[in-house]
Structure 1
C-alpha cells in the first residue's frame, strides 16, 4: 500500500522580488510613502545631535508627525491617482 501524498506545484514560482514589483505597479504611491517615511526618520536621527535646547520628546513628536503626514499625503495622492485612472 503506497501513500503518495506529493502535491504538484505550479510550473512557476514567484519570489519576493517579483511580488514586490507587481504590488508596486498596482499601487505606485505605497513605495513612495514608505521611502519618504524612511527618509524623514533618517533625517530626524541625523538631526538628533543638533536639536539644541529642544527636549527629546518634542523632537520625536515633530519627527513622528512629519513622517505620518508624508505617508498620509502619499496615500491621498495615490487614492486620487487611482480614482483618476479608473474614470
Structure 2
C-alpha cells in the first residue's frame, strides 16, 4: 500500500469521525482534503507502472545540469572576491 493510499484511508477515517461532530468550516475542509486525496489516488492508479522518469533521461534535469556546469565554468574564470576592495578613503 502506497503513501497516497494510506493517506486517503486516513482522510476517510477522519471524515467518518468528524461526521459525528457538527463543525461546518472544518467539515468543508475535510471534504476538500478527501476529494484531493481521491484525485491523487486516481492519478496514481491511472499512471503506467514502472519508472516515470530518470534524471539521466529527463530533458529539464539535463538542461539544468548543463546550465549549472556552464555557470561553474564561468565562475572559475572570475577572480575570487576577498572583500578587500580598494579603499574609499571613508571611515
**Fold shared, TM-score > 0.5 on shorter chain:** no
Report the TM-score when normalising by structure 1. 0.36
Q: If you compute each CA radius of gyration, which structure gives the higher value, 1 or 2?
A: 2
